[in-house]
Amino acid sequence: MPRSSRFAQCSVIRPSSSRNQWEALRDEGLAGMTMLGRHLHQTGQLRAGIGLDEVRDLLWNYLAIDHYERLVLSQGWAHERYARWLAGAITGALCP
């Protein structure tokens, strides 16, 4: 069973505890994507005019485990294909 499905089951059993865990994971993920976005900005790897908030949100979205679960685990994409797609999506969205 995919990790996201297991989490959904847990949230039915213990909603407030699971909600707190979900919020903590979300906050940690956003903090990490902010640090990565700041590094990309400081090293000149981002297209002109893109703000840190947008970079953070795009990275957080693209690097979410859901994409891997859907494309690799559910749809049978090879790891190499997934890596190419992910790299192309991120660089297309963020880079000059």
Give yes or no for residue 81 having a pLDDT over 60: yes
- Residue 72 makes CB contacts below 8 A (sequence gap 6+) with 78, 79, 82
pTM score of the predicted model: 0.75
For 6-39, what is each residue's pLDDT tens digit? 555 555 556 667 778 889 989 999 999 999 999 9
* Pairs from 2-10 (Cβ < 8 Å, separation ≥ 24): 2/69, 2/73, 2/74, 3/65, 3/69, 4/65, 4/66, 4/69
Domain boundaries, the chain: 3-94
Under a CB-based contact definition with an 8 Å cutoff, are residues 51 and 38 in contact?
Answer: no
**Structure tokens belonging to residue 72:** 């690799």
**Structure tokens belonging to residue 50:** 């893109």
